[in-house]
Each structure stands twice: as structure tokens, then as C-alpha cells.
Amino acid sequence: MTEMEEEFMPRRKLIAQLPATFLGRIQLVTTAILLALSVGLLLDRSAVALGAEKGATLKRLTDDLISLNAQHGRAANQLKPALLARLQNLANERHHQLAALIEADPGAVLAVALPNLLRQNMPARARIAIEEHVDMDGELEVLHEDRVQGSRFVYKLKAFGLDYSLNFKKNPPTHLNSGTKVRVRGVRVNTALALDSGGSVQA
């Protein structure tokens, strides 16, 4: 027997003397930890896949909207009402997708945001459902939120009597505090804004 084996022999005997129920509990805890890690990894992968799927859907809806708007502009007068109804329905569907995704993935919203010029050239009934590039002045509010998935900072802009959520693609403005008067630049969907980074917020 080597010196190392002699050194660990008492520990082996101690482990062998532990009650079977205690060892069973250790195994259960270890199994639970491994299972939780596996589930977390699967959820992360599922979230990435779901985000990619939603991004692809938004890209398709955006391309279809641009194409249908061009068709409406070229169409004969008798065909315009039917095309306008389709255009309005498509704009509403796309608007719903943008609103649902802007908090989780503002980068996807920024990637498909239509220029304001194209928005202005759309019929009014469809235009109302189109996102808008904006510069807004207001008061910044920064909140700390504790969640099961981990804590995070929540950014809002108080402007025009409303609270606008600020959703950053990357690098939020951690150097700014609540109450700071700011100007923000981003893409507005309802009362939510998608912004590229903290550089889109100027004090």
C-alpha cells in the first residue's frame, strides 16, 4: 500500500460508515443539480431558437408589407380597396409581432424597422400600425427588478404624460440615474422604444 492510499484509507472507511439514507440524499441532490443545469441549458437553446424564428417571421412580414404597399401604389383604382384591406391586415399582424418582441429582442425590431419616409408614403389606415423612428425628450427612470431568472435594471422615459419603456440592444446607460433629463433616439412601437445602446440616450 502506498503512502497516498494509507492517507485516504480513513476517509474511505468514514464514507463507508455513513448511513445509506444520507448517501442517498447526496445522490438525490447531485441528480437534482445536474437536472436543473440540463433544463436551464435546454431553455437557453430553446429561447435562442425561438428568437431566431420570430426574427425570420418579422423579416418575411416586412418584405411582404413593402411589396404589397408597392402593389397598392401601382394598382388601378378599382383594385385598391381590396389591396388596402390586405395591407392593413398585414401591417396589424406585423405590428403585433413587433410589440411582442421589442422587450426580449430590441435588436430584431431595429433590424426590420421601416424608414420614416416609407412609413409616410403608406396609406393612413396602414401607417397607424407602422413603427416610428423618434427623438424624444423626457425624464429618465431607472428601476432595479429582482426576478427568478436574475436581477436586471429597467429603464423608462417619462414623456407626454406617459411612461415609455426603453429596451436596449446592447450596453444600457448605467452611468445615468433616475430623474436625469434626457433625449433618446430609437424606434417606437406603442409605448415601447427599441434603442441600439446607451449612446442613444443623451443627458
Q: What is the pLDDT of residues 88-134, one digit of tens each?
A: 999 999 999 999 999 999 999 999 999 999 999 999 999 999 999 99
Question: Is residue 147's pLDDT more than 80?
Answer: no
Distance CA 122, CA 132 (A): 13
> Which residue is associated with the grid cell 390586405?
86
- One domain, residues 106 and 162: no
Between 8 and 64, name the one with better pLDDT.
64
Based on the fold, state whether residues 139 and 192 are members of the same structural domain. yes
Range of the domain at 144: 132-202
Q: Is residue 110 within 8 Å of 194, Cβ to Cβ? A: yes
Q: Are 91 and 171 in contact (CB under 8 A)?
A: no
Q: How many domains does the chain have?
A: 2
Please report, for the domain that includes residue 184, its CATH number: 2.40.50.1010
All three cell numbers of 63: 418584405
Element (DSSP H or E) covering residue 172: none
Q: How far is CA 36 from the centre of its chain?
A: 24
Instruction: Compute how many other C-beta atoms are within 10 angstroms of the C-beta atom of residue 24.
Output: 10
Q: HSE-up of 133 (CA within 13 Å, CB side)?
A: 13
d(CA 146, CA 106): 21
pLDDT given at position 47:
41
Nearest to 143 by CA among 163, 169, 171, 113: 163
Burial 6-22 (b: 16+ CB within 10 A, else e): eeeeeeeeeeeeeeeee
Q: In terms of Cα–Cα distance, which of 79, 103, 94, 78 is closest to 128?
A: 94
**Higher pLDDT pick, 37 / 84:** 84
Percent of the chain residues topping a pLDDT of 90: 68
Asked if 102 and 194 touch (Cβ cutoff 8 Å), the reply is yes
Choose between 4 and 178: higher pLDDT: 178
> Average of pLDDT values for 149-160?
91
Residue 16 lies in a domain: no
d(CA 184, CA 166): 9
Q: Do 120 and 46 belong to one domain?
A: yes
Confidence of residue 10 (pLDDT cuts 50, 70, 90): low
Tell me whether residue 176 is in a domain. Answer: yes
Instruction: Output the nine-digit C-alpha cell for 42.
Output: 435546454
Residues 105 and 179 occupy one common structural domain = no
Considering the domain architecture, whether residues 110 and 182 belong to the same structural domain is answered as no
Tell me: do 148 and 104 sit in the same domain: no
Give the pLDDT band of residue 16 (cuts 50, 70, 90).
low
When pLDDT is averaged across residues 178-188 and rounded to a whole number, the result is 98
Is the pLDDT assigned to residue 187 strictly greater than 80?
yes
Looking at the predicted structure, is the pLDDT value of residue 57 above 60? yes
Band (pLDDT 50/70/90 cuts) for residue 201 is very high
In this prediction, residue 161 has a pLDDT band, given cuts at 50, 70 and 90, of very high
Percent of the chain scored above 70 by pLDDT?
A: 74
